[in-house]
Structure 1
């Protein structure tokens, strides 16, 4: 059985994995959902300056106590999850990027964005005291979510530390060497990003797909849990 370390994306906490965690545990696995520093119950007024390295440390701090680790990083959290996986050594069983960004050494979460979108992000951070504000209900339309699920996500989301999404990743080893599955959620775009496609050329990487939106832990928890078990 695997030790699953589940890392939520921007604005979310460990609570986002509740349904998936229950299903994995019912199948006999140990499950360790993570709330990253500055988010959910760890959100504070000064959390905007939480460095990305702290999010890596949050994940390593959980994974270091385990022996057969599957790290799952969703959305933004693919970046700290990939760095944590690269630092884990022989205890890593697999890293799973769930419709996520992947870490590129020396690049930040936003570095691949267009100049217009980066200017928009800079404006958001400036207006919100260094935080990246959560999405609104309208932003979740067309992602296979019910109105009730959207309402829950919006209500429980907290502003994301801006420093964490603007600092560059630092990789201790190439992530192409790690046993990896990239999961593409097709309703959020049919193909992975260019960096992901390049990494998928590695024999250590495989591609899986879910026919749902960007937040499958809410829209298809059973299908996601089954996929995580099958690739691990």
Structure 2
């Protein structure tokens, strides 16, 4: 079986470069990989305030369609919003969705956010907001600070449009890094928008990988191994095997 292509989408403030280590490991192992920079996350974007969530969704959908066959779609952090919406628009082209310290969002992450863009906060502010820096070296943090781009405000405050119930059948894995699978399962009933889809999806598996919120940097080999196993077991069949800890 030919492994399914893998599409990687980074979270807030990041471009495709954030996946470089994971993507290189996967390509070395023989996988076809596409990493996405969402609209407005280009360093030279002229007007981030005009970028919409729909543009982010369309960019993810375009990457899925360009693969030419059903993909493993891996989304990190805030990309859980356009990622879940993309599975709604093209469910037949997502063989497996992987949420990396993220979740299938059913609502806006911050509907009260009014600014045109959201710059990368201080490290202390990130940690106070629940974003663990565990496993990141001073070099990681320096690169993050140097290459981070302000997040467009539209995708922060806008809610995804979800209309196709076929998305509910997309096999899904939640890679739990800064929160454990036990914590995430316990939070589902609390109604948090960022994990809203976990209450409605039909096939959800959880894998614990203890580290911080950016495992593509702190544990790239482990992230690549998980994605590679899912892609290898998926191919064109949609069958992901039993790579996930329940």
- The TM-score bracket by the shorter chain reads 0.7 to 0.9
Preserved CA contact (<8 Å) 1:186 1:211? yes
Output one character per residue of 1:187-220: Cα deviation in whole Å (capped at 9) or x when no partner.
6896224253872675411111111100001111
> 1:77-107 CA distances to partner (integer Å, 9 max, x unpaired)?
0110111122223232101111114221xx2
- Find the aligned partners of 1:172 and 1:206 in 2 and give their Cα distance: 23
Q: 1:135 to 1:34 in 2, by over 3 A?
A: same
TM-score by length of 2: 0.80
Partner of 1:93: 95
CA deviations over 1:3-30 (Å, ceiling 9, x no partner): 1110000000000000000011111110
**Is structure 2 residue 5 aligned with structure 1 residue 6?**
no
SS at match of 2:90: helix
CA pair 202-172 structure 1, distance change in 2 beyond 3 A:
closer
1:137-187 per-residue CA deviation (whole Å, 9 max, x = no partner) reads 444674210011011001100100001111111013244321111111136
Partner of 1:180: 172
Which residue of structure 1 lines up, in the alignment, with residue 234 of structure 2? none
Runs of 4+ with deviation above 6 angstroms: none
1:87-128 CA distance string (max 9 Å, x none):
223232101111114221xx21225xxxxxx5xx54xx2xxx
| Secondary structure at the counterpart of residue 37 of structure 1 | coil
1:131 matched to 2:123: no
TM-aligned CA distance change 1:155 to 1:161, over 3 Å: same
Any stretches of 5+ residues in structure 1 without a counterpart? Answer: 112-117
Partner SS, residue 213 of structure 1: coil
Q: Which has the higher contact order (CA 8 A, sep 6+)?
A: 2
- Structure 1 residues 213 and 164, CA, compared in 2 at 3 Å: closer, same or farther? same
Greater CA drift, 17-26 or 163-172: 163-172
Provide the rounded CA distance (Å) in 1 between the counterparts of 2:133 and 2:45.
31
On the 8 A contact 1:137/1:154 being kept in 2, the answer is: no
Identify unmatched segments of 5+ residues in structure 2. 232-246
SS in 1 for 2:105: coil
Partners in 2 of 1:177 and 1:9 — Cα distance? Answer: 24
Query: d(CA) in 1 for partners of 2:149 and 2:216?
Result: 18
